Structure 1
């Protein structure tokens, strides 16, 4: 007699997302055995308690985990299962990176186009600059270049820039060797991230350009290839040139400001700048954190999205950060007080409604 609490192989297949033929195969492999097999008809039946295992198996196979590994994941302890899944994903990512580099070399050979030397420069310095501006990239459907870093090489300097439209980060690197050719392109941000580990460990790297990509030539390490993104990069230079005059300038400890932002973490962060201090506020409490600062210009309060302001401050180089404000609705400029080659522009947001705020109570960090 068939247990009435069991379901047919067809019902179980529909609920688990597997096909009936796949369930028969997994039964033969010892991964999911039927709870009951009718001795007369040979029909297979499965229990409700087997459904989770079947769904996990389907998910494991969808990410390409081999049968033997899937069996170990399903039968092992949670820590062991997680380790096996992580190992598989790491291998997939490594294979994908290797395949991308090999594909780039094949495409170069097929087109017969040689790469052109752009510039040679310090690997760690270039890696740091790329890493700093990468935080300003975003995945924006229809605007691929916002997910990349724009490179401009000319006149003895390389400029790297990225923007998500709410934040713009740009850094200028002076090269110790002449730039071989003037060159500008936007490189895929994910490809650049995959190059950073080796780039940091290369004393001197070469940037070479092709029609469709950028090579990071790394002596004694695997070369890195980055795809180029199509479409015009935003005209950030015009934006920087057209910004209104600075009305308020504040210099404050980077570490202290970051600590205050972490303590006041919220969707919206307000900076009230006046006299010799910056008061960090949010809409969640009446308390503001008062930070000693060197301030010049008019008093102002500017509100930012936390996701815009915090990365802009954390990427700043040096002990003190310099914040240039142009009113509550104009772009703010953030840069190091003593290393001016990294500049971040952060767009403010609308101040919260008056009823959301009360007079701040200030305390010192």
Structure 2
């Protein structure tokens, strides 16, 4: 077909078609070479390209995909598809771009932090949940000696872990919120953590960023809620201590209120290793008994589920120490995970599997 024939058929020259769809002629030639928006006719003598008017709709679609950086193979798939199949192609592309965008953002932040010399990690958390977690672990820090009177913040792939201990018992709470940030750790003072708990109790979603020098907490609009500075205190890796606990040999379930009644005395736990009221935990088959050593008639019975190996026959515990841990558990029942006479007893809450306390047993 030559020029006059093209005009008779109302075909459009490449320049006219380019203006109609918003794609430069050079790009149209590139697309044609890749089997996309192929001209309706090409004059064999002049090489002029002609497009049919009904190709304009496809041209406009290609122009919009071009503006959205859709790759050529995906463009071909969209043009070849019909109805919902078209959106399925774009949905898959959108998911891929979202993943790449997240990876790119994470990589750029990591590079920025590395170059600035101040690595940080961040995670979104509900304000009331953060306040609740801080209030759960703070009691373990308030009875600690000066060198351990801190809260440890550990942001890892599973979320934010908060840990505190006074060497005799330890409280650990994980706020699940998966993140691609590099693991980051900071130690804050008890007063700073308590102040943050008070400030974020009635807040909405917060962004918590942990760097070497501070925990920065911002509201959803980006405004600063509070900055908690690093205490600069060297503290052992308490989070790893939880993860490295050996498997329990027996799980014991008891009523929480009854256990608090059994441990109650005029002596409240204040740290320092005071003994006060003592308890003997006895394991007999499928039955467990917690008995006051000084008052054997004061006894609490619970169930036993044996896990692995042989569970110890009895363990000696400080009542006030166990009471401090059990008070933090928000459930009607408390589960005690037992290993042996010297390994810390794990105090667990069935209704909150992200909370764990470790309680040191007494020497026989």
Fold match (TM-score > 0.5): yes
Is residue 155–residue 210 contact of structure 2 (8 Å, CA) maintained in 1? no
What pairs with 1:21-100 in structure 2 (closer than 5 Å)?
A: none
SS of the residue corresponding to residue 264 of structure 2 reads: helix
Q: CA offsets, 1:284-334, max 9 Å, x none? A: 323231323244364522122233211211212333221111222221111
> CA 1:272–1:133 in 2, change beyond 3 Å: closer, same or farther?
same
Aligned partners of 1:273 and 1:295 also within 8 Å: no
Match of 1:217 in 2: 218
d(CA) in 2 for partners of 1:219, 1:300: 53
Check if 1:140 corresponds to 2:138.
no
Distance 1:116 1:337, change over 3 A: closer
Task: Give 2:252's aligned residue.
Answer: 250
Give 1:53's aligned residue. Answer: none
1:152–1:302 distance in 2 versus 1, CA, 3 Å: same
Unmatched 5+ stretches in structure 2: 1-115, 268-275
Structure of greater Rg: 2
Equivalent in the alignment of 1:5: none
Which residue number corresponds to residue 288 of structure 1?
Answer: 298
Aligned-pair Cα RMSD in Å? 3.1
Structure 2 equivalent of residue 259 of structure 1: 261
C-alpha displacement of 1:191: 0.9
- For residue 347 of structure 1, report the CA deviation from its aligned partner: 0.7
Question: Kindly tell me: are residues 117 and 238 of structure 1, through their superposed partners in 2, closer, same or farther at Cα, counting changes over 3 Å?
Answer: closer
Q: 2: CA distance between counterparts of 1:314 and 1:272? A: 22
Query: Partners of 1:333 and 1:114 in 2: how far apart?
Result: 36
Partner of 1:195: 196
The whole-number CA distance in structure 1 between the counterparts of 2:202 and 2:162 is 20
Q: Specify which of 344, 348, 364 is matched with residue 357 of structure 2.
A: 344
> Gaps (5+ residues) in structure 1?
1-111, 352-365
Residue 327 of structure 2 corresponds to 314
Question: 1:166 and 1:173 mapped to 2: Cα distance?
Answer: 24
Counterpart in the other structure of 2:133? 129
| Contact residue 279 and residue 288 of structure 1 kept, 8 A | no
Partner of 1:323: 336
CA distance in 2, matches of 1:307, 1:127: 25
Deviations 1:240-282 (A, max 9, x none): 4554443322122222222222269743222223234433323
Change (3 A) 1:228 1:340: same
CA displacement 1:147-203 (0-9 Å, x = unmatched): 111111132511111121111221221127x46554211111111112212211012
Aligned to 1:162: 164
The alignment partner of 1:318 has SS state of coil
Do the aligned residues in 2 keep the contact of 1:257 with 1:291 (CA within 8 Å)? no
Task: Measure the CA separation in 1 of the matches of 2:228 and 2:165.
Answer: 18
Q: Does 1:119 align with 2:123?
A: yes
Match of 1:9 in 2: none
CA contact 1:216–1:223 (8 Å) conserved in 2? yes
TM-superposed CA distance for 1:217, in Å, is 2.3
Q: How many residues align?
A: 236
Q: CA deviation at 1:124?
A: 0.9
Report the CA distance between 1:338 and its aligned residue.
4.1
